[in-house]
Amino acid sequence: MPASELKVLMRDTLSHFQHLHRLSGSADAEKSVDWLCEQLQARDIPFRRESCNLWLSDPLDASLTVAGQVINAKTRSFSAHCPDGVEAELFHDTQSLDFIPENALANWSARVRGKLVLADQGFEDYVQRLMNAGALGLIHIWGSAEAALHEETVGPVWGTPVPDDLQRYPTIPVISISQQDGAHLRSQLSAETLCARLTTVLHEHVAPCSLPVVELPGSSEEFVLLSSHYDSWHEGVTDNATGNALCLALATLFSEQRLTRGLRVAFWPGHSNARYGGSTWYADHFRSQLLDHCVAHINVDSPGCIGGSQLVVNASGAESSDWLNQAIIATTGKPAERVTPIGKGADQSFWGLGIPLHFALREVPEQRQSLSPGSGGGWWWHTEEDTLDKVDEAHLWRDFDIHQRWLESLLYEKTLPLDARQYLALMDDALAQLQNEIDPAFSLNTLRERLSALEKLISGKTCKLSSLAEATGLWHRARYRAGDDFHPDLSYHGGAFPGLQRLCGFRRQQCSERYWLMLETQFIRQRDRISELLTRSEWILRQSV
């Protein structure tokens, strides 16, 4: 298909989606899938329209009143539903961004207990800490100057919960306010005691959600998974109608070609109000196909934004940086600003499935003026202002071209762009940094020795591609997960070797005997889990060298 027709298809997608508020579980979300499926059917592109039941939390309304003053506020998905309101003394937690040692936790808890807490952060682990301390609510002050309030989530569970997860869901209301309003409240609190009243209204429900997947076969059983979430906050044109338009155009382009590897193009529901529920459902229900045949997952989120002039690649570390940059240089004339490890988010629900390649292109502004992590860093991210005028069609086509080049390589070349030595070095660097952040009693030397042995094993030698891919899948389990392959880690446990990250900051002299014992147990189990994964990978590689 000519480039001009692909551009028209992307433009039509944006034009149609711009008036649909595509929150999962809503009629507009299903209308957007209807339209996607109509486009696929019209072009004879093979697809399946799956349906998955998801646990959804829709934030509807919030209010904050302090000393008779009404302050603009928004609640967050999976906040507690408190329509009758909570009233209490307001407390500014100046330690909200600080690590709290175990021997100081009781004093901190006493200060926030029974209070509505004003804080400079609203991440899920902080909400959990406030719940455990007996706080009555959280008022998060957004950290950059835009007046717009952003939709967000405090859901602690990745995807759909199991019964043991229920106790983790927030039992306190959580709202956000602007930086300006927060500064005013802090100033008032420094001079006088204030009481506040907040309300939150949420709709928590289970609903069926469509999950369309294009399935283009190749001559081999292997396939690449390309994905984007179609649900949105409000119109969500740059998050993520642009991603849907790009993926639909790529599906159309490659449907006309004879492929070596197959291509699946998935459109996820439940990214926003089900905490990556759609991609997790797909990982659960198509596990064997993904485990046996998927060689790469490329996630597309918020391409084509005004101001998104700089490009970053979020990658697992196993991908050749030179290969990633080849497509970017061919399109833009220069490499990405940086290639950086994938963070906790963006429907990365597949770490336990042995997929060797995971990466995503991300736009960032030349000069950041907002803390918005999506929409190219634009202040309108997750707000009512994410509208069609925020799209830069030149950036969208640039991003399309880069993805096309990546896919042409993955779908046709026999090899995979794996750089095992680079990944082993990155993991060793991460362990070295981690060693500086945990108590010296927790030695990571044995793990670093394992990595060194692996590097020596493959240095200057040729390994079978299938063995190298299998070993890489084990390394991903070590680097990106803390638990088993069937139950995702909590949404807020991230960083390199997340099970070991739980040890950061703690020192023996600041811990009770009981808590130190728990940390020792955490260390032993995580060290040995990672060691066994590395040992298994070494055995696999020794058979293929």
Pairing of strands 310-315, 357-364: antiparallel
pLDDT score of 172:
98
pLDDT score of 420:
97
pLDDT digits (tens, 9 = 90+) for 110-139: 999 999 999 999 999 999 999 999 999 999
Band (pLDDT 50/70/90 cuts) for residue 462 is confident
Residues near 377 by Cβ (< 8 Å), separated by ≥ 6? 305, 307, 308, 363, 364, 365, 368, 369, 370
Q: What is the chain's mean pLDDT, rounded?
A: 97
Tokens found for residue 195? 């009481």
Instruction: Spell out the alpha helix ranges (H) of 438-486.
Output: 445-458, 465-480
The predicted model gives 195-206 an average pLDDT of: 98
pLDDT digits (tens, 9 = 90+) for 325-383: 999 999 999 999 999 999 988 899 999 999 999 999 999 999 999 999 999 999 999 99
Alpha carbon distance 445, 435 (integer Å): 9
pLDDT digits (tens, 9 = 90+) for 258-284: 999 999 999 999 999 999 999 999 999
The predicted model gives 139-161 an average pLDDT of: 97
pLDDT digits (tens, 9 = 90+) for 515-535: 999 999 999 999 999 999 999
Alpha carbon distance 224, 286 (integer Å): 14
Task: Kindly report the three-state secondary structure assignment for every residue of 98-150.
Answer: CCCCHHHHHHHHHHHCCCEEEECCCCHHHHHHHHHHCCCEEEEECCCCCCCCC
pLDDT digits (tens, 9 = 90+) for 381-391: 999 999 999 99
The three-class DSSP label of residue 275 is coil
Residue 156 contacts residue 492 (beta carbons within 8 Å)? yes
Alpha carbon distance 175, 187 (integer Å): 19
pLDDT higher than threshold 80 for residue 545: no
pLDDT higher than threshold 90 for residue 471: yes
